[in-house]
């Protein structure tokens, strides 16, 4: 295939003033400056306050209120980025970030994302992006092999299963819930039966689940949050689930979908996947496993048991952007039968018809997601696995778990604190212990004060949760730049601040 000849005006330089947003010299110059900014930022982020000391609306007071009408040198935008945007940034890349769950990154992921952005592939059908479609499929199969997922989840064409890379866990829940909903409606009288469908999760399941239930049209009265307790380490109680599903079925309702979580957000609880799947099978309900964060750990053989029973599930999702060094956004969803997704999500407009799609030899990505357009996310995931290999990815996970275990041991050795739930993976949930004349409410308030004081220093950032009525701090290890010295430094700061808080509360 040849290239089109240049017009005479271009050869003679007559169109020298024409706007060329992808001028090769500009691309090279701008990206060099952006790459320098990124490298400098990652080198210096440790010294920046993790939480910014700005107030809502600060940025509008610093930048132009109206869009510019004329062009400006790229350096102007870079200067405003440094002077105005950066000071208002919460630095998730900081090694002193211990809040929520980590948002990991790597040189390979950044490079892959950059190349994907430059290519700007829109992969709705195989024809629109053959390499992007197939590389995504390959990367998903590679990761499935690392997780030891059973063959039905592979996209080799032999089983009917496969996967897709979505933006978030919420999307993975939504598309699987819609598929489960539609399958149940086909079995139980069509759309008129929608009000009879019931769905299930624990009260520790991510709030995204309850949001997507509304989006899927599930009656809020039919969304069951099964209560958990310390007796089950806040994991879903399979016996309680069974009782509730039996009650619903006996009342003429249709148990449709169960979400099991491997690594809940509040405490990293692990639901008993196998037992849940066995119960759901009785009622022909779809089982989805949300392993957004903790699924990454299951590439290590010593953590693989947390996915025991996955062979009986209908779908599973995990997010490499949380703990597997692949920058946002990247959530991997595997289903054992892609047809169950495409039955609900497939579109066939004439303008997207093509011989490859019509042959049935491929599953177009547009038919496994909410939207039609699809980013080339598979490139950065493939780059990460191809560059680092399983051994280094496992080393990364194990290092974070070891640092979290070290922090947990420090907490347990100090009688002013208690570890509220057993540590799973790299999250430690702790609080100030009731001592002396303190009540549980006093301990809650002291723990809340500790969090506010810590975050106010800018030296660390930790988050909290409330489980079983008790306030606790969540200390999540795993930011990509974190080393043991950062964890030790955070622990020393916690001890110091706690001493000052408790001393100030003495009569």
Catalytic residues: 351
- Cβ neighbours for 469, distance < 8 A, ≥ 6 positions apart: none
Q: Look at residues 227, 249, 251 and name the one whose alpha carbon lies nearest to residue 239.
A: 227
Cα end-to-end distance, the chain, whole Å: 85
Q: What is the rounded CA–CA span in Å between residue 93 and residue 341?
A: 35
- Cβ neighbours for 456, distance < 8 A, ≥ 6 positions apart: none
Residue 404, Ramachandran bin (φ over 0: left; ψ between -120 and 50: alpha; else beta): alpha
How far, in whole angstroms, is CA 144 from its chain's centroid? Answer: 17
Q: Are strands 331-335 and 417-419 parallel, antiparallel or unpaired?
A: unpaired
Given a contact cutoff of 8 angstroms between Cβ atoms, the answer to whether 312 and 282 are in contact is: no
Count the neighbouring beta carbons within 10 Å of the beta carbon of residue 478: 25
- Cβ neighbours for 37, distance < 8 A, ≥ 6 positions apart: 78, 81, 82
Q: What is the rounded CA–CA span in Å between residue 408 and residue 426?
A: 10
Q: What is the rounded CA–CA span in Å between residue 271 and residue 279?
A: 13
């Amino acid at each position: 295939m040849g290239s089109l000849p240049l017009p005479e005006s271009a050869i003679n330089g007559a169109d020298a003033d024409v706007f060329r947003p992808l001028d090769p010299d500009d691309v090279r110059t701008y990206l060099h400056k952006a790459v320098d900014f990124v490298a400098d930022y990652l080198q210096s982020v440790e010294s920046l306050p993790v939480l910014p000391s700005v107030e809502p609306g600060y940025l509008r007071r610093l930048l132009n209120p109206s869009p510019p009408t004329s062009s400006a040198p790229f350096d102007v935008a870079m200067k405003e980025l440094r002077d105005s945007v950066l000071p208002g940034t919460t630095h998730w890349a900081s090694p002193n970030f211990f809040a929520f769950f980590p948002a990991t990154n790597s040189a390979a992921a950044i490079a892959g994302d950059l190349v994907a952005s430059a290519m700007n592939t829109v992969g709705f059908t195989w024809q629109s992006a053959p390499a992007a479609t197939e590389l995504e499929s390959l990367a998903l199969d590679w990761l499935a092999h690392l997780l030891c997922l059973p063959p039905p989840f592979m996209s080799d064409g032999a089983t009917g299963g496969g996967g897709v890379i979505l933006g978030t866990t919420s999307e993975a829940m939504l598309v699987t819930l819609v598929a489960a909903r539609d399958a149940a409606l086909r079995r139980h009288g069509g759309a008129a039966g929608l009000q009879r469908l019931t769905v299930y999760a624990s009260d520790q399941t991510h709030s995204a689940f309850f949001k997507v239930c509304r989006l899927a049209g599930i009656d809020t009265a039919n969304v069951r949050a099964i209560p958990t307790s310390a007796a089950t380490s806040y994991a879903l109680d399979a016996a309680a689930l069974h009782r509730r599903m039996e009650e619903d079925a006996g009342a003429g309702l249709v148990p449709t979908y169960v979400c099991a979580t491997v690594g809940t957000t509040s405490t990293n609880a692990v639901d008993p996947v196998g037992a849940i799947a066995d119960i759901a099978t009785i009622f022909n309900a779809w089982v989805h496993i949300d392993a957004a964060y903790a699924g990454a750990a299951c590439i290590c053989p010593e953590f693989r048991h947390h996915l025991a029973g996955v062979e009986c599930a209908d779908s599973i999702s995990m997010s490499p952007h949380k703990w597997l060094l692949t920058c946002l956004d990247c959530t991997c969803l595997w289903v054992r039968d892609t047809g169950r997704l495409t039955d609900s999500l497939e579109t066939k407009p004439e303008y997207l018809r093509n011989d490859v799609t019509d042959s049935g030899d491929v599953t177009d990505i547009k038919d496994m997601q909410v939207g039609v357009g699809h980013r080339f996310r598979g490139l950065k995931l493939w780059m990460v696995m191809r560059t680092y290999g399983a051994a280094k990815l496992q080393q990364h996970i194990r290092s974070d778990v070891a640092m979290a275990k070290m922090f947990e041991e420090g907490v347990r050795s100090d009688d002013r604190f208690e570890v509220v739930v057993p540590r799973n993976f790299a999250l430690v949930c702790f609080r100030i212990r009731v001592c002396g004349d303190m009540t549980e409410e006093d301990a809650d308030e002291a723990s809340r004060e500790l969090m506010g004081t810590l975050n106010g220093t800018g030296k660390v950032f930790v988050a909290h949760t409330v489980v079983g009525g008790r306030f606790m701090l969540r200390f999540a290890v795993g930011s990509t730049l974190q080393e043991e010295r950062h964890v030790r430094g955070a622990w020393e700061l916690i001890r110091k601040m706690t001493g000052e808080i408790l001393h100030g509360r003495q009569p």
